[in-house]
Structure 1
């Protein structure tokens, strides 16, 4: 299997081929996922919740992220490794460059930032300096306190218009991927069709170019009640490798996510 790159994902979008991605936090799972055919691994700041036991992602530090990025990059032989930039680590372009430097030097192939048009200059600066960028819109977990909880975004027309505008701004700034989280399927379809860059969904229906799950959701280890958009694939006597294979198959054939994992306007 050859190394997955941004160009690989761009070709998938052009060909209408859906792709599956997962979060990973250590070398062992990264190697297993990569060998199973998962081409994109996100070292998510979700580690604050699933590994560190926090209620949200806000406490995660740049050093936390760099440690786990380094671990994942050693195991992810063929996968594209994306690193979340944690809470308040990219408030200015200069701070953004410093944080991205640490994560890229730790082994990331791309960094991910939560936010809309206000990130334009920072994303433009990163891409001009050779750092690939993934945007993240919709339910952005670092803003959970601003939202008043983990709530679906974009149901009001004004919100939907802003999300579409932000998505176009991120692409114009140079972002090469976009994650859409917890938005109505109809809006996800509109944004995916409006952009030339690949769009990865989580709680955004089956209309996006790719899907991502937190690995703990995939294998039924979610702390507390699993989110609506998740599915435990470690069923029917499967082992972890079988669960990953079933997930990849379900994403590529369009059977996951189904209506029961998605949101309406």
Structure 2
């Protein structure tokens, strides 16, 4: 038996409850190469994790929380403290999905030893099963170092948001022969480094399909190809929480509009003194 946390929606409190150990494992993900597509979404809170858990193989606590939760201009300012806090919340809110936590910019690039220290902290403080790091050929030795020491790593190549200051834009990668060759070298290096899977983001469809043949581990696409071994999106993007999204995002709802409508109705009722009403007011019980 394992312990997860169930939110009491009446009080918004997380209460520990026993739950069967049903989590998807790292070997199970690795073995899905070329089989049923893997489903992955981002989650940053316990409640979101609860709602997504039954539908996903993996929940990614992405450093995209910098923009989604904190309103930062990019993922670069995200800290280890942020990732650990949100990672722990997502683990508490789930029991089935494999939880993976992004390693933020500056927490792993200096050396394999720095990466191990950061990754170990993430896993100890969150209870997550794996970490994710950006980078190709130059990060392969670090992934090998971590994997040999018991830390499962998901790679991330193609469009790497933490490198936005070097890349200059969020445009799709793999448009020229040289860029395509470098990208496929990255895919091969990560595949051979000991990573159990990798995200391929923002690349031309033909490049993503070629990456599928190069990689011996599952390739999770985002802005890549439907032929990838799985897909990932930022949950708030698919829910329609933002006016502007990347081309590769499909909106499955317009939650922002529905939230705004509800807030407007609430404001009207408060101003009209029709809320709270009788159903929301405490009064003495009538004596029989």
TM-score of Structure 1 vs Structure 2, range by shorter chain: 0.7 to 0.9
Residue equivalent to 1:246: none
Shift of 1:32: 1.2
**CA deviation string 1:22-81 (max 9, x = no partner):** 00001111111112x211000000000000001110110011100000100111211101
Q: Which of 75, 94, 98 is the equivalent residue of 1:76?
A: 94
Separation in structure 1 between the aligned mates of residue 116 and residue 33 of structure 2, nearest angstrom: 29
Structure with higher RCO (Cα < 8 A, 6+ apart): 1
Greater share of helix residues, 1 or 2?
A: 1
CA RMSD in angstroms, aligned pairs only = 1.6
Residue equivalent to 1:141: 161
Residue equivalent to 1:21: 40
1:67 correspondence with 2:85: yes
What TM-score results when the alignment is normalised by the length of structure 1?
0.85
Q: Which of 175, 179, 195 is the equivalent residue of 2:195?
A: 175
What TM-score results when the alignment is normalised by the length of structure 2?
0.78
1:98 correspondence with 2:131: no
1:210 correspondence with 2:243: no
Report if aligned partners of 2:26, 2:129 keep a CA contact under 8 Å in 1.
no
Shift of 1:108: 1.6
Residue equivalent to 1:38: 56
Shift of 1:11: 3.2
Task: Determine helix, strand or coil for the equivalent of 1:135.
Answer: strand
Separation in structure 2 between the aligned mates of residue 10 and residue 54 of structure 1, nearest angstrom: 33
Ranges in structure 1 where 5+ consecutive residues have no aligned partner = 240-265
Report if aligned partners of 1:185, 1:207 keep a CA contact under 8 Å in 2.
no
Separation in structure 2 between the aligned mates of residue 76 and residue 156 of structure 1, nearest angstrom: 42
Ranges in structure 2 where 5+ consecutive residues have no aligned partner = 1-19, 259-288
Residue equivalent to 1:244: none
Residue equivalent to 1:131: 151
Rg comparison, structure with higher value: 2
